[in-house]
């Protein structure tokens, strides 16, 4: 297929994409998770493959499958996702972090199933490592780092703050406000901010179309 791939814009690029939720164990049968389906990250990874990139997809627990020629690395917890990202980051030119990583994880994992007892039950949680912020610190000149932001208020302000604080090149703001946008659905409504804090607003689209829009913005920054 070499003659078919020739001419693709990302032929000499390596990409790292994260997708899906993370599951943080409470005991052998329970975890803290979220509703992320992984669809957005898979669509981005596949779009980058179709543009010629060598793609590593680090994914949390998801029902998604891909027939594309990519390297899939399955992880469960935020800590495992961090380790996998660190392993592939240095060799990557394009990094897109679309996973919905848990912000907190149980301080202790019970070795046996926790028995019910009192009316109230509390779980002590500890902050996870912010994977994206860590990569922002490690980032070199040739690397393009893209993050996501999910906000329910002051959307633009909070997204721009994350872009600067985490040393990103682009941030994709996911709007949950419109019907049909966000977790579990097949559509998303996004706004992309760059380092000049210029914004591009997109219509509600399928996640595959949204992935194409994100990849186009990435290509624009590479030329």
Bind-site residues for CTP: 103, 113, 148, 162, 166
- Which listed residue (59, 77, 92, 128) binds ligand CTP by CB under 6 A? 128
Return the one option of Ca ion, ligand CTP, none that residue 13 interacts with (CB less than 5 to 8 A, by type).
none
Phi-psi region of 38 (alpha: psi -120 to 50; beta: other; left: phi over 0): left
For residue 162, state whether it binds ligand CTP (rule: CB under 6 A). yes
> Site map for Ca ion, 78-107, x if CB under 5 A?
-------------------------x----
Cβ-contact 193, 170 below 8 angstroms = yes
Kindly indicate which of the ranges 28-36, 86-94, 143-151, 206-214 contains the residues binding ligand CTP, using the contact rule CB under 6 A.
143-151
Torsion, Cα 90 93 96 102, to 10 degrees, reads 0
Go through the chain and tell me how many residues it has: 223
Between 48 and 87, how does the x/- string for binding to ligand CTP read (CB under 6 A)?
------------------------------x---------
**130, 155, 209, 217: which one contacts ligand CTP (CB under 6 A)?**
130
Residue 80 binds which of ligand CTP, Ca ion, none (CB < 5-8 A, kind-dependent): none
Nearest-CA neighbor of 59 among 41, 46, 34, 44?
A: 41
d(CA 127, CA 24): 12
Question: Whole-angstrom Cα distance, residue 160 to residue 195?
Answer: 9
What does the binding site for ligand CTP look like in residue numbers (CB under 6 A)?
78, 97, 99, 101, 103, 128, 130-132, 147-150, 162
Active site residues: 34
């Amino acid at each position: 297929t070499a003659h078919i791939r020739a001419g693709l814009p990302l032929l000499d690029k390596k990409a790292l994409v994260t997708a899906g939720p993370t599951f943080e164990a409470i005991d052998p049968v329970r975890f803290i998770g979220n509703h992320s389906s992984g669809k957005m990250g898979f669509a981005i990874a596949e779009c980058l493959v179709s543009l010629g990139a060598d793609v590593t997809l680090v994914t949390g627990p998801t029902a998604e499958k891909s027939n594309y020629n990519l390297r899939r690395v399955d992880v469960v917890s935020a800590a495992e996702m961090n380790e996998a990202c660190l392993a592939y980051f240095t060799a990557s030119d394009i990094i897109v972090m679309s996973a919905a990583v848990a912000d907190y994880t149980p301080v202790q994992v019970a070795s046996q199933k926790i028995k019910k007892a009192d009316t109230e039950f509390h779980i002590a949680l500890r902050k996870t490592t912010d994977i994206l912020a860590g990569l922002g610190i490690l980032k070199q000149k040739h690397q393009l780092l893209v993050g996501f932001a999910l906000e329910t208020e002051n959307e633009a302000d909070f997204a721009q703050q994350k872009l600067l604080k985490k040393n990103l090149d682009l941030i994709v703001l996911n709007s949950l406000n419109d019907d049909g946008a966000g977790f579990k659905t097949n559509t998303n409504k996004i706004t992309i901010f760059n380092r000049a804090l210029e914004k591009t607003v997109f219509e509600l689209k399928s996640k595959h179309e949204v992935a194409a829009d994100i990849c186009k913005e990435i290509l624009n920054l590479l030329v």
